[in-house]
Structure 1
C-alpha cells in the first residue's frame, strides 16, 4: 500500500473528510486553509480561503454542494464546494470546535467553546438550499448549553431531533436539540476527553476515540458500549471501515512531547482492529508525529490520515485486503 502524500498544509492537520462518492477529500488544518483533493491520484482541486484562525472542523453534504467549516476565528462558514466561494458566515463569541450535517443536508450542528466567561453552546442551523445558498438565517433554529462537562464532538442521530455528543470528561450523551434536554448519557464511556466521534453509515452505531487510550463502539439507541479497542497510546481519531469488519485508530504521544520521542516509541501509526473480535490485525506507519484525524472512503477502497506533521496520506487498499477472510472460512451475507 504505497501512500499518496498530499502536501498542501503548513501546519498540523485537524480534520479530513471524504464526500459521499469518495472521489473528493477535504482537509483542514491550523494554517487557516481548507483544501480539496481528488482521492484517486492526490491532485489538488482547490482551496477555500477566508478564515483568519486555525480551522478545527469541517463537513461536506451528501450532494457535494455545500461545505461547512468551524474555526478559531469564532466563525462558522458555509462554502460552495464547486466554486470555493464563502456563501455565508456566522459569528460567535468563541471558537467553533465541531460541525456536522444531518442526513438530509438541511441542518448543521456546531459546538462552540467554553471560554472567556462564555458557556459552551450547541447550535443547530437550518440550511436554506434554495438558490445560490447565500440566503441563510442569521440566528440558530435551536440552541442550548450542555450542563457539566463541556462537549467536544457531536453528530446527528438517526432519531429525529436528537444529537449525540462526546465530552471533555469522557461522557457520551444524547440531547434533544429542540428542548436542550439530555435524554440519555453514559458518564463512564471513557476515562478522559473524547477526541473523535464518527457515525456508521446508517447512524445506528458510532465509534469514539479518547485520550484514555481506548476507542469504543456504541449503540446509538441507548449508548450501550458494544466493543472496546484498547491501545497503549492516546487516541485522536477512530473510523469505521466500509464493507469490511475493521476499525481504524490513530493517535500518538502529544505534540509537545514528540521532540524527545523516537518514531517507534511515539506510536504514530494507523492501527487496524477487527471490529467484532477486538483483535489488532495490522499497522501502517508513515507520519512523523501523532495522527490527528482519520477518514475512510465510503467506497471502502481507500483511507486517509492527517498528522501533526502537516501531511495527508491517502492509502489505496491492495488486492490482499479485499481477498482476506476476516471471519475465517465463514462468508457474511449482506
Structure 2
C-alpha cells in the first residue's frame, strides 16, 4: 500500500508517498471499503486474498484466506463484526472480522459480483453473474447474528432474476426490502426483493455499464459511475437525477465526501490499452468535483493505471483509491482541503 499526505486543489503536484513493507495485493484492486468507525480499510483484488489495513498509518493488520479465485466485492457490517465477500470461485463467504475465520460459505453456479449489508446488518444482498446459460440473479440472505455466526441458512430469503439487462451493482435503500441496482445497459432501478418486482426504473440513467454505486450516509441519495464517462447523483426513492459530472474518460468508481461538498471520481483508459498510454494521457488521477456546482476543483495523481475503486473515510478525514496497478493509495487530507472554498462558503449536509 502506498500512503502519504493528500494534496488538494493542486493539479500538478503528486502526493509524497512511501512504501511500507511488501505489497498487500499482487493483482488489480476490485473494491475497497472503510468500516463504519473508519479505523479499518478492507480491500480485495483479482488475487484470492482479502486484506485489512489500519487507516491511520496504512499498516496491514491481517488477511482473510480461503477463496480460490478473484475476489470481486466486499462489505463490512456497521459493528465491524462480520465481513462478507463475493468471488469468482462462485462463492459468497461470511467472515469474522476479528479472527479472520470464514464462518459460512454459500455456493452458486456463477461468480458473485456485488455484495452489500442492509442498514441494520440483518440481511445481505448479492448479485451473481449471467453466464454459462444461467441468468443474472439477485439473492437476499438473512444473517443469523446469534452465537459465533456459523449457523446460517443455506437457502436465500429471496431470489429473483432482474428484468432485462443484467445487474452489476446494488445496495439496500432506506425503504424496507427495497434495493437500488445499476445495470450493464446503464439502467438504474428499484426492486422489491420480496416479490422481485421492479418498482421504478430509469432506463437512461447512463448510456454505458454502471460500474459503481455508493450511498450517502442517510441512504436518501446515491452516486453512480459509468463507462459512459459520467457520474450521477440519484434520489433513492424516485431515481431522479439530481447532479451530473461529465468527464472525458470511462469511470470505474465514484464516492461522496461526507463532510465537504465534493464527490470523488476515478477511472482511466481501459486496462487493455494502458500499456500504450502514458499516465498523463490515461487520466489516472482521483478527480474532485464540487457536488453542487458540478465543476472539477482538484486532482490527486499517483496511480500507474486506471483507478478501479475509491472509498472515503466516514468522517471525511482521508480517502483511499485502488488501481489496476495493484496498489492502494491512502491519502489523509491536509488543512487546505477543509479550508478550501472554490465557489464560496457552502456547508455540506450529511
Same fold (TM over 0.5): yes
Partner of 1:195: 211
Structure-2 change in CA distance of 1:174 and 1:332 (3 Å): closer
Structure 2 unaligned runs (5+)?
A: 1-5, 7-15
Output one character per residue of 1:35-76: Cα deviation in whole Å (capped at 9) or x when no partner.
000000011000000000000000000000000000000000
Which of 232, 235, 239 pairs up with 2:255?
239
Partner of 2:198: 182
Given candidates 88, 106, 111, the residue that maps to 1:90 is 106
Q: Could you say which residue in structure 2 is the equivalent of 1:320? A: 336
The TM-score, its normalising length taken from structure 2, stands at 0.94
What is the aligned partner in structure 1 of residue 43 from structure 2? Answer: 27
Distance 1:333 1:230 in 2: 23
Q: Does 1:122 align with 2:138?
A: yes
For residues 64-108 of structure 1, the C-alpha deviation after alignment (integer angstroms, 9 at most, x for no partner) is 000000000000000000000000000000000000000000100
Structure-2 residue corresponding to 1:9:
25
1:231-273 deviation line (CA, Å, top 9, x unaligned): 0000000000011000000000110000001110000000000
2:297/2:342 contact within 8 Å kept: no
2:311 to 271, 288, 295: 295
Q: Does the Cα contact within 8 Å between 2:249 and 2:283 map onto a contact in 1?
A: yes
> Cα RMSD (Å) of the superposition?
1.2
Query: d(CA) in 2 for partners of 1:330 and 1:70?
Result: 39
Matching residue of 2:12: none
Deviation >6 Å, runs of 4+: none
In 2, Cα distance between equivalents of 1:147 and 1:332: 36
Shift, 1:159, TM fit: 0.6
The CA deviation at 1:329 is 4.2
Residue in 2 that maps onto 1:67: 83
Within 1, Cα distance between the matches of 2:316 and 2:170? Answer: 23
Aligned equivalent of 2:170: 154
What's 2:283 paired with? 267
Cα offset, 1:147, TM superposition: 1.8
Query: TM-score, with normalisation over the residues of structure 1?
Result: 0.98
The answer to whether the 8 A contact 2:260-2:347 is kept is: no
